[in-house]
Structure 1
Amino acid sequence: MLIRVAVITPEDFAPLITECAEEFTNILYTTYYYGNPMECDQLMEQIQDCDVLLFAGPLPYYFAMRTSGQRKLPAVYIPSDEYTLTLNLGHILLNREEGLKSLSVDIPKLAYLQQAVEEWQLDASGWCVRDYSQIIDGVGTNFDPEALIHFHRENVESGRANLVLTSVDYVHTQLRDAGIPCVNLIVPKKSIREALVKAAHFGQLMISENAQIAVGLAAINPVDGDLGTSTKPDAGIMLQQMLLELGKETDASIQQLGLDQFIIYGTRGSIEQMTGDFTHMPAMGNMEQLFNVTISMGFGFGMTAKEAEANARIGLFHARKQPESSSAFLVTNEKEVIGPLDVNPRAFHLKSDNRDILHVAEQTGLSVATITKLTSFINLRRDNRFTATDLAEYLQFSRRSAERMLKKLMDKGFVETVGEEQPYQQGRPRAVYRINF
């Protein structure tokens, strides 16, 4: 099985990755170069026809994830970890006359350097160190390449350091050109090979997933009352023509189940292509305006056609719960519901083996699906404080329904009020809640 890998790297680091990649006969790689890692989100727009992304380090991975995350592509990066730092400290000790007494260092995570220093049993009390841990842990110091350049330059010019060790290619280039004694982090071949093995493994999983059986269901819904006898056949004919064209483009089979419902047979890869990696429902032209209808679509994946069709019916059920507009939902073989399919689709699980979620569901009488929606809501916000209105908008509930849900959770101690907000000068203030599970 040939795995197509897109390698995102600085140009001067590419030969080392190429040398290691040539050892793997099952990898076909294409290289994309960047100068500043903060520009990698733009570079992602150029990448086509690949199974997995391989980044030269955690920085390009971090800045590209906004785009690659939407495309649902698996991605790995070559780490700048304690093993890498241990190798680099040894290299400086043996090859640089400045030695290790006065270093100015930038690293993704401080703990990596602490472990390397412990391995070498070094005295690092005179070192100037700055990390950018947010890219690894999601919290901590932000990454600012210009601030790092200023940090290192000031340390060397003031005499606090006589050598810079940087983990950022862009910073190394700028300091080197300015005549600052600087060493770029050496990446061991072992780390590159391990990242390539991981990329190949993820690529194989991706290809296997894309071959998974997929079923789609499309149905016509009247907007106002029943469709007229002449309108319904016309809408059905037009929908069938659109689906047949879509089937030709994605190698999927289309069959008519009734006057207003169709079934689509394909693979996971064909549905991903049809929905733009789950970012939009297939285009239905101007059927809504022509026939005063909406289109509901449900897609399902499974190990068998029966399982995929059952999941598609669940997706169609959720799509039909939004009668005011056309929508599509997708249900995976792991019972994850994704939708409505748009630029920012929501996701929740219909089942869970998470004991905390099961405990909350059992204590409150709420469904597992509802509790997983709630946890997805908090994870998406990265802020465990919200109002009933915030929750209602996310869940597409009425505010009253969201308040009833919150009351059940509060009665069992899973939610508490932590304050109030008053977005308008008049009217009652809104309670601000926090989840405790």
Structure 2
Amino acid sequence: MWTQVAVITPEDFAPRITAYAAEFSNLKFSTYLYRNPMECGTLVEQIQECDVLLFAGPLPYFFGTKALAKRSKPSVYIPSDEYTLTLNLGYILLNRNEGLRALSVDTPKKAYLEQAVAEWQLDSSGWSVTDYSQIIEEDGAPFDPERIIRFHLENYESGRSNLVLTSVDYVYERLRAQGVPCINMIVPEKSIRETVAKAAHYGQLLISENAQIAVGLAAINQWEQEEGGLDAGIMLQQMLLELGKETDASIQQLGLDQFILYGTRGSIERMTDRFSRMPVVGKMEHLFGVTVSMGFGFGMTAKEAEAHARIGLFHARKQAGSSAFLVTNEKEVIGPLGTGTKAYRLKSEDRELLRVSEQTGVSVATLSKLSGFVKLRRDNRFTATDLAEYLQLSRRSAERIVKKLMTHRFVESVGEEQPYQQGRPRAVYRINF
């Protein structure tokens, strides 16, 4: 099977990547071109069908990150690291009359350059160096192409540098247009090939993953033995059969109000629009006033997939109204499918979560949900009401969880908030794990 790779790259660099189409015969490339890496978020949103995204460097990957989160597709990027800088310093030393005495450099991270300098045993005391390490470290220097251009121009015009080495195509074009001696960072062929090979590997994994066995269970919750209830069962069956035809899945009836679906992970991904929605459940509620619960499960065997589907159905039935949940072969619970979809793990190999669970008696699944809750927020502060709404528990249940964690100092009180003029203030907490 083919793996469709979307390549996000500057125009002049694209042929170096797509040249590997002959070597990796299972790959098909489609190119999406940018001039400024800050455009890449918009560019990613324009990509139609692809299996893997390949970025020409860490910068376009960084600016495409937010859009990537919506696509749920594997992605890779060609690194700009110590190896790249070592190669470029060697090239300048051997091929440029300016030499290495007065160099102006921009790099994703200064530590990369320091390591390359140590490899060559060079004297870099006369160099001017800036980085944009925020793309690697959250509290690092932000990327601003205009700042980098000014940095190099000031160094050159003041005589502090006689040659610029830049890792940003846009900066290279601007400096060249102003007559500044400049080298665009040479990307090693080895790095390109290894990244393309990684994209091919992800493609094969995706094909294997999509072939996993999938089982779905659907049940009408508000079943009535009246004529309307019978109509609802028939309509649900028809809707599921239509979905089955579209996605190569088979449907069997277990009872008047229950159905089982057999397919692959790929078919369920298509059916749920990449696990983001399940339109059948909403239609049934609108047409017949009945609520429908659905659970999907993946596994390496039909038995494992059905067991996971029953877990999904259990979670769906705990919701108010119609809903659908999905449980992967790694026991990750995704749902309810639709607005506000969340994901957490029923099991964990995270030693810290296991330690917290053992000491507090709070389940790993709940701690996993709590961890996901914190990651969604801009800061690590919340109230019991915030937590109750996210976990879909009563406020009292959320307060009990907080109390258990506070007893062992995994949560601490950091203040209060008064959202309304009347009533008691709410305690504000912070997680320490």
**AA at the equivalent of 1:110:** K
Does the residue aligned with 1:313 lie in a helix, a strand or coil? helix
- The equivalent residue for 1:430 is 426
Which residue in 2 is equivalent to 1:144? 144
Structure 1 282/137 Cα, relative in aligned 2: closer, same or farther at 3 Å?
farther
CA RMSD of superposed structures (Å): 2.0
| Equivalent residue number for residue 259 of structure 2 | 262
Query: Cα–Cα, structure 1 residues 353 and 285, in superposed 2: closer, same or farther, change >3 Å?
Result: closer
SS of match in other structure, 1:433: strand
The aligned counterpart of 2:185 is 185
* Change over 3 Å in CA distance of 1:139–1:257 after alignment to 2: farther
Candidates 409, 424, 435, aligned match of 2:405: 409
TM-score, normalised to structure 2, is: 0.94
1:361 aligns to what SS in structure 2? helix
Q: Which amino acid in structure 2 is aligned with residue 40 of structure 1?
A: C
Match of 2:362, SS? coil
Of the three residues 352, 357, 369, the one matched with 1:356 is: 352
SS at match of 1:137: coil
Q: Give 1:44 shift.
A: 2.3
Give me the whole-angstrom Cα distance separating, in 1, the residues matched to 2:85 and 2:339.
39
Checking the alignment, whether the CA contact within 8 Å between 1:389 and 1:399 is kept in structure 2 is yes
**Partner SS for 1:286:** helix
Match status 1:85 vs 2:81 = no
Separation of aligned partners in 2, 1:121 and 1:429: 62
Contact preservation (8 Å) 2:281, 2:291: no
Identity %: 73
Deviation at 1:392? Answer: 1.9
For the structure 1 residues 7 and 135, does the alpha-carbon distance in structure 2 shift closer, same or farther, using more than 3 Å as the test? same
- Once residues 136 and 289 of structure 1 are traced to their aligned partners in structure 2, the CA distance between those partners, rounded to angstroms, is 48
Shift of 1:186: 0.6
Deviation (angstroms), 1:257? 1.4
Q: Is the 8 A contact 2:41 2:64 kept in 1?
A: yes
Report which stretch shifted further, 365-374 or 337-346.
337-346
What is the CA–CA distance in structure 1 between the aligned matches of 2:341 and 2:103, rounded to whole Å? Answer: 47
Aligned residues: 433
Deviation per CA, 1:192-217: give whole Å up to 9, x if none: 11111111111111100000001111
| Pairwise CA distance, 1:129 | 2.1
In structure 1, the residue matched to 2:60 is 60
> 1:155 & 1:43 partners in 2: Cα distance?
33
- Alignment of 1:391 onto 2:387: yes
Aligned equivalent of 2:171 = 171
Q: How does 1:216-231 map to 2 (within 5 A)?
A: 216-222=216-222, 227=224, 229-231=226-228
Alpha-carbon shift at residue 86 of structure 1 (Å): 0.8
- The Cα offsets for residues 117-151 of structure 1, whole Å up to 9 and x where unpaired, read as 11122222332222222222333222222222232
Matching residue within 388, 393, 400 for 2:396: 400
User: In the alignment, what sits opposite 2:316?
Assistant: 319
Q: Which amino acid aligns with 2:334?
A: I
- In 2: Cα distance, 1:352 partner to 1:392 partner: 22
Deviates most, 50-59 or 97-106: 97-106
Deviations 1:222-242 (A, max 9, x none): 3xxx63612211111111111
The aligned residue for residue 203 of structure 2 is 203
Q: Distance in 2 between matches of 1:47 and 1:300?
A: 29
- For residue 73 of structure 2, what is the amino acid of its counterpart? L
- Structure 2: state its 5+ residue gaps: none
Alpha carbons of structure 1 residues 128 and 394: separation in structure 2 relative to 1, 3 Å: farther
Q: 2 CA distance for matches of 1:245 and 1:395?
A: 34
Residues 231-250 of structure 1 correspond to what in structure 2 (within 5 A)? 231-250=228-247
Which of these residues, 266, 270, 275, is aligned with residue 273 of structure 1? 270
Query: How far apart are the structure 1 equivalents of 2:268 and 2:65?
Result: 22
Q: Which runs of 5+ in 1 are unaligned?
A: none
Q: CA deviation at 1:47?
A: 2.9
Cα deviation, residue 21, structure 1 = 4.2
Q: Which amino acid aligns with 2:425?
A: P
Contact 1:336 1:350 in 2 (8 A): yes
| Change over 3 Å in CA distance of 1:213–1:408 after alignment to 2 | same
> Counterparts of 2:390 and 2:163 in 1: how far apart (Å)?
51
The whole-number CA distance in structure 2 between the counterparts of 1:86 and 1:341 is 48
AA of the residue aligned to 1:404: R
**Alpha-carbon distance, 1:284 to partner:** 4.4
Kindly provide the amino acid, as one letter, of the partner of residue 384 in structure 2: A
**SS in structure 1 at match of 2:276:** coil
Q: CA deviation at 1:248?
A: 1.3
Contact 2:295 2:314 (C-alpha < 8 Å) held by counterparts: yes
- 1:264 Cα shift? 1.3
- The farther-off stretch of 101-110 and 376-385 is 376-385
Which of the residues 332, 335, 353 maps onto 1:339? Answer: 335
Q: Provide the TM-score with structure 1 as the length reference.
A: 0.93
After superposition, the C-alpha distances for 1:151-206 in whole angstroms (9 at most, x for unaligned) are 22233233333222211112212222232322111100000111111111111111
**Inter-partner Cα distance in structure 2 for 1:156 and 1:344:** 52
Are the counterparts in 1 of residues 103 and 164 from structure 2 also a CA contact under 8 Å?
A: yes
Aligned counterparts of 2:92 and 2:21: Cα–Cα separation in 1: 27
AA aligned opposite 2:331: K
- SS of the residue aligned with 1:366? coil
Equivalent residues of 1:339, 1:345 under 8 A apart: yes
- Sort the Cα spacing of 1:430 and 1:250 in 2 relative to 1 into closer, same or farther, 3 A: same
2:172 touches 2:183 (CA, 8 Å); kept in 1?
yes
Counterpart CA distance in 2 for 1:100 and 1:422 is: 61
- Quote how far apart the aligned CAs of 1:344 are: 4.8
Contact 1:232-1:259 at 8 Å conserved across structures: no
The CA deviation at 1:363 is 1.7
Q: CA deviation at 1:267?
A: 0.5
Q: 8 Å contact 1:298–1:330 — kept in the other structure?
A: yes
Q: Does the residue aligned with 1:113 lie in a helix, a strand or coil? A: helix
User: Counterpart in 2 of 1:157?
Assistant: 157
Distance 1:425 1:278, change over 3 A: same
